[in-house]
Structure 1
Amino acid sequence: MLAQFEHFYLTIKSNRWYWLFSIFCRVSLAFAFLVAGWVKIIGERFASGLSMIHPMGAYLEALHHTGYYYTFIGVTQILAAILLLIPRTVTLGALLYFPIIVNIWLLSYAVRFEGSYVTAPLMVWACLFLIVWNYDRVRFLLPLNHFSDLGILQKPKKYSWRFPYLFAGFVFLVMVGTVAYAEFGHEVMPHNSIKDCKKQFTNAPKQEAGYQFCECIHTAGIDLDSCLETYEEVKNEFKP
Structure 2
Amino acid sequence: MIFEKLRTNRFNQWIIIHLRYLVGFAFLPSGLVKLMGERFTRISTDHPIGYFFEALYQSGFYWNFLGLTQVAAGILLMTQRFALLGALMFMAILSNIWVITISLSFTGTWMITSLMMIAVLALIIWDKHKLMPLFSYNQSSSVKAFPDPDKSWVMTGMIYIFSFVTLYLLGPVGENIYMKGISAALGILMVGTFVITGYKAYKNPDLFLKNQV
Query: Is the shorter-chain TM-score for this pair beyond 0.5, marking a shared fold?
Result: yes
1:111 deviates by: 0.8
Q: What corresponds to 1:96 in structure 2?
A: 89
Output the amino acid matched with 2:40: F
1:47 to 41, 46, 52: 41
Alignment equivalent of 2:116, drawn from 95, 114, 123? 123
Instruction: Tell me how far apart the structure 2 counterparts of residues 61 and 8 of structure 1 sit (CA, whole Å).
Output: 48
Aligned to 1:169: none
Q: Structure 1 or 2: larger helix share? A: 2
Question: How far 1:32 moved relative to its partner?
Answer: 1.2
Taking structure 1 as the reference length, the TM-score comes to 0.58
Q: CA contact under 8 A between 1:34 and 1:78: conserved in structure 2?
A: yes
- CA distance in 2: counterparts of 1:87 and 1:129, whole angstroms: 15
Contact kept in structure 1, 2:102 and 2:110, CA below 8 Å: yes
Alignment partner of 1:24 out of 4, 8, 18? 18
> What residue number does 1:80 align with?
73
Q: CA shift at 1:43, angstroms?
A: 1.2
Q: Secondary structure at the match of 1:113?
A: coil
Give the corresponding residue for 2:131: 138
CA distance in 2, matches of 1:101, 1:128: 11
Distance 2:52 2:140 in 1: 44
Q: Which portions of structure 1, spanning 4 or more consecutive aligned residues, are displaced by more than 6 angstroms? A: none
The alpha-carbon deviation at position 55 of structure 1 amounts to: 1.7
**Structure 1 143/78 Cα, relative in aligned 2: closer, same or farther at 3 Å?**
same
Report the Cα distance in structure 2 between the residues aligned to 1:94 and 1:147, rounded to whole angstroms: 27
Measure the CA separation in 1 of the matches of 2:114 and 2:143: 31
Unaligned runs of 5+ in 1: 1-6, 157-240
Cα gap change, 1:24 to 1:114, in 2 (>3 Å): farther
Q: Distance in 1 between matches of 2:103 and 2:71?
A: 25
Q: Whole-Å Cα distance in 2 between the matches of residues 108 and 46 of structure 1?
A: 15
Change beyond 3 A, Cα 1:11–1:118: same
The C-alpha deviation readout for 1:187-225, integer Å capped at 9, x for no partner, is xxxxxxxxxxxxxxxxxxxxxxxxxxxxxxxxxxxxxxx
Deviations 1:39-67 (CA, angstroms, capped at 9, x unpaired): 0011111123x222222111101000001
Partner of 1:183: none
Contact 2:17–2:80 (8 Å) recurs in 1:
no
SS of corresponding position for 1:114:
coil
Which consecutive unaligned segments of at least 5 residues does structure 2 have? 150-213
* Distance in 1 between residues matched to 2:142 and 2:63, nearest whole Å: 43
Larger radius of gyration: 1
Counterpart CA distance in 1 for 2:23 and 2:32 is 14
Offset of residue 12 of structure 1:
0.7
> What corresponds to 2:169 in structure 1?
none
Q: Structure 2-normalised TM-score?
A: 0.65
Pick one of 96, 99, 108 that aligns with 1:106.
Answer: 99
For 2:119 and 2:3, the matched residues in 1 are separated by 17
